[in-house]
């Protein structure tokens, strides 16, 4: 790769947001949702507890409860102020679609029946919640102790806690929802299993999407998570145990006030093909007891601190045995990858580490037995075309970390020759900063297979240079 972009200075980030509104009328449970609803009818809150309550008196406007002809609750405008739920369905086994309603004002009283959900589903299955506007409740939508529930195309906004709270639920799906201005998460899953959260737009909440507790085997895919006051994605497993088998992929996670993604007590998760940029702290923060996870093929750039930051507060709960590979980690305000206390046995390979303000990779004390090889280092820590002892591209103050295999190390743009015998290995080792006195014994003379810099990263960098120059001139 011959493209060279020098360091962008200044702390000003400009965010260009391309918004899109997604509407799907794809049919649900064999039913084509062509509602024709043009206006809404005022009514009191709806409480349905059991299949026998699915009557016209309780807001059902059609259907027979089968897959092809589900019960329909639609067209209502419900002011739930002073009530503890706007629409409540409990202990339902029939097929039901709740769509095209407006619900607001429900407030929390107690669990499980009265959590303050604008729309609440409890101990039920085969329920679809679609095309509703639900706002200024404690929670927008609540799904508890249920399975095979779908939330789609809803506007869940300005609720005091979560846009959608999905708890002790399995085999469910939330997609194409717009969740903004909620006091907690846009979508919050607690002990959620075998479910999918995809193509949602979660902005201006505390968290974009969060999973808590013993959540397992879930996918977070294709979402837009931005401008949240904490993290875009927050994955926090149970104390003393771990959340497992979470897949996070193809998301756009940007301009959140803390981290793009934060994990605690997470194992066997996979994160790939995400674009994570302009977050005000780290792009990805792997906190205590985040182990056996794989992070690959992500673009992590222009975050104010580290691209990826790994840490654990205790040797009893290390963050270890993670694999980080084939990522593009560029133009971050700190180091590209940071490994601190009790991060060990991690493998870092085939990453592009380009023009990060601090080191490409930084390892501090008590971060031991990590392997770093076949990465490409360009212009990190102010380095240039040739070796500068005050601008070394990596640092190691841990112990027993390996910066090469027995035959091949990393590619350092400031140390790519000479290679007198043409074996692909620079004739002298690359000395790494830090108290460990580590060296890459087999620095590569040619770049290994790593992700290219990418047009988007180049464009953002050019935009920041232009804006910085403009402001300076003013």
* Secondary structure string (H, E, C) spanning 287-319: CCCEECCEEECCEEECCCCCCEEECCCCCCCCE
For residue 390, how many C-alpha atoms fall within 13 Å in the half-sphere facing its CB? 0
- Neighbouring CB atoms inside 10 A of 472's CB total 9
Count Cβ atoms below 10 Å from residue 397 Cβ, excluding itself.
19
* pLDDT of the residue at 464: 66
| Cβ-based neighbours of 26, under 8 Å, separated by 6 or more | none
CB 358 within 8 A of CB 334: yes
Q: How far apart are CA 173 and CA 405, in angstroms?
A: 44
* Least confident among 32-41, 207-216, 311-320, 396-405: 32-41
Which is nearest to 379 in space by CA: 125, 94, 4, 99?
Answer: 4
Structure-token match 């979470």, residue found: 246
The total number of residues written for the chain in this structure: 474
CA distance 253 to 234: 12
pLDDT at position 179, please? 98
Percent of the chain having pLDDT more than 70?
Answer: 88
Q: What is the mean pLDDT of the chain?
A: 90
Largest CA distance in the chain: 88
> How much of the chain, in percent, has pLDDT values that exceed 90?
81
Q: Which tens digits make up the pLDDT trace of 325-341?
A: 999 999 999 999 999 98
How many angstroms separate the CA atoms of 316 and 346, rounded? 16
334 in the Ramachandran plot: left (φ > 0), alpha (ψ -120 to 50) or beta? beta
Mean pLDDT along residues 2-11 = 40
Domain ranges of the chain: 230-474
pTM of the model: 0.90
């Amino acid at each position: 790769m011959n493209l060279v972009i020098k360091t962008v200075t200044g702390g000003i980030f400009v965010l260009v947001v391309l918004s899109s509104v997604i509407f799907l009328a794809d049919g649900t449970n064999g039913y084509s949702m062509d509602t024709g609803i043009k206006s809404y009818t005022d009514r009191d809150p709806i409480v349905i507890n059991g299949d026998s309550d699915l009557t016209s008196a309780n807001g059902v406007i059609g259907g027979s409860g089968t897959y092809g002809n589900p019960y329909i609750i639609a067209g209502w405008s419900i002011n739930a102020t002073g009530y503890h739920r706007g629409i409540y369905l409990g202990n339902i086994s029939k097929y039901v679609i709740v769509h095209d309603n407006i619900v607001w004002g429900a407030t929390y009283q107690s669990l499980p029946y009265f959590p303050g959900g604008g729309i609440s589903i409890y101990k039920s299955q085969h329920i679809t919640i679609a095309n509703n506007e639900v706002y200024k409740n404690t929670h927008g939508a609540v799904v508890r102790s249920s399975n095979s529930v779908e939330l789609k195309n809803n506007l869940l906004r300005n609720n005091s806690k979560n846009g959608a709270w999905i708890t002790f639920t399995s085999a469910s799906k939330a997609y194409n929802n717009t969740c903004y201005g909620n006091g907690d998460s846009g979508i919050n899953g607690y002990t959620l299993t075998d479910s999918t959260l995809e193509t949602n737009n979660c902005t201006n909440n505390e968290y974009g999407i969060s999973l808590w507790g013993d959540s397992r085997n879930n996918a977070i895919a294709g979402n837009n998570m931005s401008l949240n006051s904490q993290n875009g994605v927050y994955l926090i497993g149970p104390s003393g145990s771990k959340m497992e088998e979470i897949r996070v992929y193809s998301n756009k996670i940007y301009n959140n006030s803390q981290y793009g993604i934060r994990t605690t007590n997470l194992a066997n998760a996979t994160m790939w093909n995400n674009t994570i940029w302009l977050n005000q702290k780290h792009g990805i923060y792997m906190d205590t007891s985040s182990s056996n996870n794989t992070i690959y093929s992500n673009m992590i750039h222009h975050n104010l601190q580290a691209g990826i930051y790994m840490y654990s507060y205790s040797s009893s709960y290390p963050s270890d045995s993670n694999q980080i590979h084939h990522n593009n980690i560029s133009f971050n305000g700190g180091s590209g990858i940071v490994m601190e206390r009790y991060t060990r046995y991690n493998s870092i390979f085939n990453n592009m580490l380009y023009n990060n303000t601090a080191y490409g990779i930084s390892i501090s004390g008590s971060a031991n037995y990590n392997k770093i090889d076949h990465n490409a280092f360009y212009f990190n820590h102010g380095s240039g075309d040739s070796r500068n002892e005050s601008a070394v591209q990596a640092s190691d103050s841990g112990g027993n970390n390996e910066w090469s295999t027995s035959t091949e190390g990393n590619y350092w743009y400031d140390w790519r020759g000479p290679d007198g015998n043409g074996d692909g290995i620079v004739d002298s080792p690359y000395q790494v900063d830090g108290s460990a006195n580590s060296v890459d014994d087999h620095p590569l003379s040619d770049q290994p297979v790593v992700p290219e810099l990418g047009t988007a990263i180049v464009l953002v960098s050019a935009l920041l240079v232009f804006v910085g120059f403009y402001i300076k001139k003013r």
